[in-house]
């Protein structure tokens, strides 16, 4: 038996594992579901989510084995974490690294192993997701890709846990040199700050003629973050090309003066009203005709983006604004926040298979595992989740964590609408469930087609 070599980045790897705060934690349904999903997709008797510390491999989730872990010396996973690619052992009896391993010669009598490293940071793996069997075999390319996708989702969950204490969900308190009266872009005078998000602050501004605008400014602590700056610029590039009345308008792009920090800014259409998330919070749920009409308008706005080759990737109630909404209905729909859109018209967006962007509760299955594997039908799924939530007041795939939502999306069907609402027209259920088909080819072909279906049901 050949002991697994120690990775060159062992010290960094162990620090990452410690920061994830997951070793020897209680069982979690989300991880168990993903392990079962791996076994089902790969057709194996055994599946494991394994974490490796300095001397032990521990199974966070396991299917088909009784052990909760083994020494690192016996670990197949110990070999796997040395690779940036899957480790596949088609027959352990024919591989001198494993032929006399006690896990091969005794329980669970492993003859086949396939593992994909869990890279929390590029090149540094804290463990692996693996499948195994008691007889020699291999995986198809499709099964191997499924295992890679599951590994990316688990790694994403681990990164979120690691980063939780760093961000703490707090809004930046950094000072911006843009108090009332400050001039932006030689035209706009700041009136007041409207609010802050994770990476930007928004101000109300007016020009000399009294025209109002919303000015979005990147927060200074993000200036050195290339990915955040690129998101900011991408939103500008996308909005420059869209003319739909159902998308918030962009008037100007620039950088603040050097005395103001030189930060990038966008001058956007000033909107008064509220977004669908707040409407839903106030009303509990929305009558389907009202919700369908609003979302049909949103579909038309997003359809223009799709025609330009742009996928929104973050459709959700908080990104659908109702300008002029008075509380009793009405309001002009405006789709907001194209900051993580894919395929912007300039062609300069850079995505990799390991990038995962969007809001997990609203993401299509294909988007959950790879930001580059999205198309118009991914946005249709997100619109379907939004519609379902508006009409029922519930998410179709709830979960206490992103990983749990992922497992639910991949393995379960949404609760039927009538279970929430009782007497619901079959056409309502049909539209929503067509949006939420796991295979994207079974969804509506385009946002225009979905908009037509929504208007037909709303007027029926």
pLDDT band at 348 (very low <50, low <70, confident <90, very high): very low
Average model confidence (pLDDT) across the chain: 88
The confidence score (pLDDT) of residue 380 equals: 98
Nearest to 147 by CA among 132, 134, 130, 165: 130
Q: Please tell me the total number of residues recorded for the chain in this structure.
A: 460
Catalytic residue, candidates 314, 344, 379, 402: 314
CATH classification code of 10-167: 3.30.450.40
- What distance in Å separates the CA atoms of residue 80 and residue 116, rounded to the nearest whole number? 7
Q: How far is CA 329 from CA 291, 335, 374, in A?
A: 10, 17, 33
- Cis ω on the peptide bond leading into residue 108 (within 30° of 0)? yes
In the predicted model, is pLDDT for residue 405 greater than 80? yes
Where do the structural domains in the chain lie, given as residue ranges?
A: 10-167, 183-269, 273-459
- Structural class in CATH, domain 183-269: alpha beta
Percent of the chain whose predicted confidence (pLDDT) is above 70: 91
Residues 9-45 have pLDDT tens digits of: 899 999 999 999 898 988 888 899 899 999 998 999 9
pLDDT band at 349 (very low <50, low <70, confident <90, very high): very low
Task: Respond yes or no: is residue 314 known to be catalytic.
Answer: yes
Segment 90-98 long-range contacts (CB within 8 Å, at least 24 positions apart) = 90/136, 90/137, 90/138, 91/136, 93/136, 94/136, 96/2, 97/1, 97/2, 98/1, 98/2
The confidence score (pLDDT) of residue 328 equals: 62
CB-side exposure of 51: number of CA atoms within 13 Å?
22
The confidence score (pLDDT) of residue 29 equals: 85
Copy the structure tokens of residue 79.
């070999």
Q: Is residue 378 within 8 Å of residue 313, measured between CB atoms?
A: yes
- What distance in Å separates the CA atoms of residue 277 and residue 318, rounded to the nearest whole number? 5
CATH classification code of 273-459: 1.10.510.10
Copy the structure tokens of residue 447.
């946002």
| pTM of this structure | 0.77
In the predicted model, is pLDDT for residue 229 greater than 60? yes
Helices and strands (H and E) in the chain: how many: 14, 15
Residues 145-172 have pLDDT tens digits of: 889 989 988 998 898 888 764 555 444 5
Average pLDDT estimate for 320-339: 83
- What distance in Å separates the CA atoms of residue 181 and residue 195, rounded to the nearest whole number? 17
- Between CA 214 and CA 300, with CA 387 as vertex, the angle to 5 degrees is 60
Residue-by-residue DSSP string for 307-344: HTT-B----SGGGEEEET--SSS--EEEE---TT-BS-
Residues 428-442 have pLDDT tens digits of: 999 999 999 999 999
In the predicted model, is pLDDT for residue 288 greater than 90? yes
The confidence score (pLDDT) of residue 367 equals: 86
In the predicted model, is pLDDT for residue 250 greater than 50? yes
């Amino acid at each position: 038996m050949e002991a697994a070599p120690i990775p060159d980045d062992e010290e960094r790897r162990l620090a990452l594992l410690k920061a994830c705060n997951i070793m020897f934690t209680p069982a979690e349904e989300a991880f168990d579901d993903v392990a079962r999903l791996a076994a089902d997709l790969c057709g194996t008797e055994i599946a494991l989510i394994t974490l490796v510390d300095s001397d032990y491999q521990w199974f966070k989730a396991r299917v088909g084995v009784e052990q909760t872990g083994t020494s690192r010396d016996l670990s197949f996973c110990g070999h796997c974490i040395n690779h940036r690619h899957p480790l596949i052992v088609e027959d352990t009896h024919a591989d001198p690294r494993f032929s006399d391993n006690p896990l091969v010669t005794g329980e669970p009598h492993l003859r086949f192993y396939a593992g994909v490293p869990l890279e929390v940071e590029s090149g540094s793996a804290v463990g692996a997701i693996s499948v195994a069997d008691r007889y020699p075999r291999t995986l198809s390319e499709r099964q191997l890709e499924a295992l890679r996708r599951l590994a990316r989702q688990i790694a994403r969950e681990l990164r979120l846990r690691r980063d939780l204490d760093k961000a703490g969900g707090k809004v930046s308190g950094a000072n911006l040199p843009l108090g009332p009266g400050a001039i932006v872009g030689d035209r706009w005078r700041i009136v007041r700050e409207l609010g802050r998000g994770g990476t930007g602050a928004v101000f109300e501004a007016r020009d000399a003629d009294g025209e109002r605008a919303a000015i979005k400014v990147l927060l200074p602590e993000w200036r050195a973050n290339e990915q955040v700056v690129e998101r900011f610029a991408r939103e500008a590039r996308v909005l420059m090309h869209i003319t739909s009345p159902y998308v918030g308008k962009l008037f100007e792009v620039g950088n603040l003066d050097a005395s103001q920090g030189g930060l990038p800014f966008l001058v956007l259409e000033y909107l008064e009203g509220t977004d669908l998330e707040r409407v839903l919070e106030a009303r509990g749920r929305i009558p389907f005709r009202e919700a369908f009409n609003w979302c049909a308008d949103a579909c038309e706005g997003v359809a223009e983006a799709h025609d330009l080759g742009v996928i929104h990737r973050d459709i959700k109630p908080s990104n659908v604004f109702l300008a002029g909404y008075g509380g009793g209905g009405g309001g002009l729909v405006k789709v907001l926040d194209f900051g993580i859109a894919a395929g912007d018209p300039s062609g300069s967006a850079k995505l990799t298979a390991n990038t995962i962007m969007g809001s997990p509760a609203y993401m299509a299955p294909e988007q959950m595992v790879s930001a580059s594997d999205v198309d118009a039908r991914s946005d249709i799924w997100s619109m379907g989740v939004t519609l379902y939530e508006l009409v029922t007041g519930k998410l179709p795939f709830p979960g206490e964590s992103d990983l749990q939502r992922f497992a639910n999306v991949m393995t379960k069907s949404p609760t039927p609408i009538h279970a929430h609402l009782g007497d619901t027209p079959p056409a309502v259920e049909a539209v929503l469930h067509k949006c939420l088909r796991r295979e994207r080819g079974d969804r509506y072909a385009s946002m225009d087609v979905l908009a037509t279906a929504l208007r037909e049901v709303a007027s029926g």
